[in-house]
Amino acid sequence: MPNAFVDDARNFKEDNPFESMMSRFDNAAKLLDLDPNIYRILRCPTREMTVYIPTMMDDGHYEVFVGYRVQHNFARGPAKGGIRYAPDVTLDEVRALAAWMTWKCAVVNIPYGGGKGGIVCDPHKLSMTELERLTRRYTSEILDIIGPERDVPAPDMNTNEQVMAWVMDTYSMHARHTVNAVVTGKPVELGGSRGRREATGRGLLFVIQEACKKFDLKPAETRIVVQGAGNVGGIGATLLHEAGFKVIGISEIRHGLYNPNGLDIPAALDYLRKHKTFEGFEGGELITNAELLELDCDVLMPAATENQITTQNVERIKCRILCEGANGPTTAAADEVLERKGVFVIPDILANAGGVTVSYFEWVQNRMGFFWKEDFVNERLQDTMVSSFNDVLSYAEKHKVNMRTAAYMLAIDRVAYETKMRGIYA
């Protein structure tokens, strides 16, 4: 029987995130000499759901939005992964993101499989009441396949604590009791974890600190460029600035901001919050996102969206360390050039795993009904990120592969072992 996931993946284009994920998977699977049966299983998602979501707009007319939830793998535990709202969400993108979650949870060794969801919409054009109705109806449509033991969503691009609160409430209405462990990234008052909002950025700080130790880079002399000023980029840049690093560039979707002597990140982000743009901020020069990515720096942290470093610009990338805050910011085709240029890559499935790690802590706290202090959360996050970074680094050195390949090999090896142990002949 032909199977598109196994047979036809080579026909995809460079900017297809599913292809980006799969070609790394294939490379790692080959090096691992992965059992062909396990290879076929892990290449396919377990379940995909497409839903059509009728939503009443504020003027009384109805729009029907398309939504997805993909569950890639359950070998290690319930599926885990965010929900994103964006006009360009596609099933391929959600599929890739779901698989990335499987590998990410395995790299940091937390007991989850991978899932992801998305709704094709432009949330900036929706009112709060429209967003709430859309979210509640989407939750009702996917209700049968999510739950604390099945699949636990979280925020992603353009979704936040408020959206998670609506998902939790809708699920709880159907369950007839409060089920806060059905989503993570909730407001702290509704069972969210302290430190979750900052967790992805904090995790990035920890892995950058480890990489700097390896290259003997002192924070004050380390020039960092961050693409994206949202949850990951904004908080990551703030924590790096507080830790004494020199953040020389940051951007949001329209503009980048550059100051070779270092930006006042809290002031720049405060300005962005108030004016919705960096335009007019006096502490730096306005540049484009394309120019920002090509700045001469020690650490480049793409923390916005996919496909930012491609065959079109990779030759001009000048960083020494590439730390991937976003999921899939580098295409597979660009990897080869980075390798040739000697760029040390901290791959997304390791670098941005701080978010899912604290999501795991949130789920644990919800199931215990006992909540941890923020210092305790941050300390445990640091343990996980530092030990995972060093596990991947040792694996890379031992097998003479780069960090991305090592992270995939480590993750696939773990998921393959668990799949075999559970038995694949149902």
Q: Which residues are catalytic?
A: 116
Candidates 15-23, 30-38, 230-238, 371-379; binding stretch for ligand NAD (CB under 6 A): 230-238
327 binds ligand NAD (CB under 6 A): yes
How far apart are the C-alpha atoms of 417 and 426, rounded to whole Å?
16
401 lines the binding site for ligand NAD (CB under 6 A): no
Shortest Cβ distance from residue 284 to ligand NAD (Å)?
Answer: 16
210: number of Cβ within 10 Å: 17
Instruction: Output 118 or 191, the one with its CB closest to ligand NAD.
Output: 118
- CB closer to ligand NAD out of 45 and 355: 355
The verdict on 326 binding ligand NAD (CB under 6 A) reads yes
Q: Which amino acid is at 385?
A: M
Shortest CB 200 distance to ligand NAD, Å: 4
Least Å distance between CB 364 and ligand NAD?
17
The stretch among 58-66, 277-285, 299-307, 400-408 that binds ligand NAD (CB under 6 A) is 299-307
Only segment of 143-151, 217-225, 226-234, 261-269 that touches ligand NAD (CB under 6 A): 226-234
In whole angstroms, how close is the CB of 403 to ligand NAD at the nearest point?
17
Q: Which is closer to ligand NAD, CB of 135 or CB of 352?
A: 352
The reply to whether 229 sits near ligand NAD by the rule CB under 6 A is: yes
Choose between 23 and 158: whose C-beta lies nearer to ligand NAD: 158
Residues 373-392 that bind ligand NAD (CB under 6 A): none
As a whole number of angstroms, the distance between CA 307 and CA 331 comes to: 6
Q: For ligand NAD, which is the closer residue by CB, 209 or 231?
A: 231
At a CB cut-off of 8 Å and minimum separation 6, what does 353 contact?
104, 105, 107, 108, 203, 384, 385, 388
Work out how close the CB of 94 gets to ligand NAD at its nearest, in angstroms, rounded to a whole number: 11
Given the complex with ligand NAD, which of 29 and 302 has the nearer CB atom? 302
At how many degrees (to 10) do helices 17-32 and 91-107 cross? 40
Least CB distance to ligand NAD at residue 229 (A): 4
Q: Does 99 bind ligand NAD (CB under 6 A)?
A: no
Gap between the Cα atoms of 59 and 330, Å rounded: 41
Of the residues 19, 130, 252, 362, which one makes contact with ligand NAD according to CB under 6 A = 252
Question: Pattern of binders to ligand NAD over 344-373, x per CB under 6 A?
Answer: --------x--x------------------
Three-class secondary structure of residue 139 per DSSP: helix
Residue span binding ligand NAD (CB under 6 A) among the ranges 44-52, 133-141, 250-258, 388-396: 250-258
Q: Determine, following the binding rule CB under 6 A, whether residue 156 of this chain makes contact with ligand NAD.
A: yes
Q: Of the candidates 65, 62, 25, which has an alpha carbon nearest to the alpha carbon of residue 43?
A: 25
Q: List the one residue from 212, 225, 232, 300 that touches ligand NAD (CB under 6 A).
A: 232
Look at residues 385, 397, 422 and name the one whose alpha carbon lies nearest to residue 110. Answer: 385
Q: Among residues 227, 201, 218, which one has the least CA distance to residue 385? A: 201
Indicate the residue type of 71: Q
SS3 296: coil
CB of 280 to ligand NAD, least distance (A): 17
For residue 159, the minimal CB distance to ligand NAD (Å) is 8
Q: Which is nearer to ligand NAD, 41 or 295 (CB)?
A: 295
One-character DSSP codes across 349-399: HHHTTHHHHHHHHHHHHHHHT----HHHHHHHHHHHHHHHHHHHHHHHHHH
CA distance 302 to 224: 11
Query: How far is Cα 95 from Cα 68, in angstroms, rounded to an integer?
Result: 9
CB 317 within 8 A of CB 291: no
233 is a site residue for ligand NAD (CB under 6 A): yes
Plot region of 348 (φ>0 → left; ψ -120 to 50 → alpha; else → beta) = alpha
H or E segment to which residue 55 belongs? strand 47-56
**CA 405 to CA 395: how far, in whole Å?**
10
* Residue 49 and residue 68 in contact, taking contact as beta carbons nearer than 8 Å: yes
- CB of 238 closer than 8 Å to CB of 229: no
Looking at beta carbons, which residue is closest to ligand NAD?
A: 230
For ligand NAD, the binding residues in 304-323 under the rule CB under 6 A are: 304-305
Interaction site with ligand NAD (CB under 6 A): 155-158, 200, 227-233, 251-253, 289, 303-305, 325-327, 352, 355
